[in-house]
Every structure is written in structure tokens, then in C-alpha cells.
Amino acid sequence: MGPWLVEVTDRPSLEVWLGGGPPDRAGGTVMFVRGDEPLIRGFLPNALDAAKFEKDRVVVWVKNPVLFIEGEERELFGEGDEILAAVLGPAGAVGGWVTPDRVRVQDAAFAFAEAEEFCA
């Protein structure tokens, strides 16, 4: 899928990214995108374009949110389904989000930048 997009299909792969990524990608910024609806598929190219703006950014696509264990999904995305994507900064804290009304490249870039600035 390329260096900017990783599709996780099992729990061990997700755990690697929740921990900041594999050793060769550690210290980067990780955007988790959950679901496989048309809105998500339309947003992914914008997220990828935003990831390419800076070094060490990656988009992790979790098509099946069942891969999250109890509490993880809420910790990343909050309550409900209003958040499409959550961004972990280099220090591992959530610092940026994308909502259904803000799915442009600029919105994804802003979410990445927020996590990089406030969670470094």
C-alpha cells in the first residue's frame, strides 16, 4: 500500500501501530482511520496527501473496528461515531481528529499538525 498507508487486518498489527509503529517508523505521527464506508474511502486519499507533507507520517486504516479492545476505540475516537480519524503524536498521545464535516486534505493536514505540535 505504500509507505504512507498501512491497512491493519489483525490485532497484532494494530498493537504495533498503537505503540507508535515498528522500530523503523518509531517516533512518527500516526493517523488511525476507522471503518470502510464510502465517506472513509473518499477521505483516505486526502489523508494520504496530508501524510506526504511531512516526514514520518503514516495513515493506519482499521477497516474493522472490532480489532480494538475495550476502551481503546473510545480513548482514540471519543464517544460515538463523530470522529473518523484520530492522530497520535510522536509521544504517543492523541492530539488531532477528523470529523465527517472536515475531510479535505487541509483538514487532515491540520489534524496531523495538531498532534505533532501538542503531543511531541
More confident residue, 4 or 63: 63
Full-model pTM: 0.93
Q: How confident is the prediction for the chain on average, in pLDDT?
A: 90
Report residue 84: phi and psi, to 5°: -90, -35
Structural domain boundaries of the chain?
5-118
pLDDT band at 2 (very low <50, low <70, confident <90, very high): low
Considering the segment(s) 5-118 as one domain, its CATH architecture is 3-Layer(aba) Sandwich (3.40)
pLDDT above 80 (res 1): no
**CA–CA separation, 87 and 113 (whole Å):** 9
What is the reported pLDDT for 80? 73
Average pLDDT rounded to a whole number, residues 93-103: 93
Average pLDDT rounded to a whole number, residues 22-50: 92
For the chain, percent of residues with pLDDT exceeding 70:
97
Q: Which residues of 76-102 are buried (b: 16+ CB within 10 A; e: fewer)?
A: bbeeeeebbbbbbbbeeebbbbbeeee
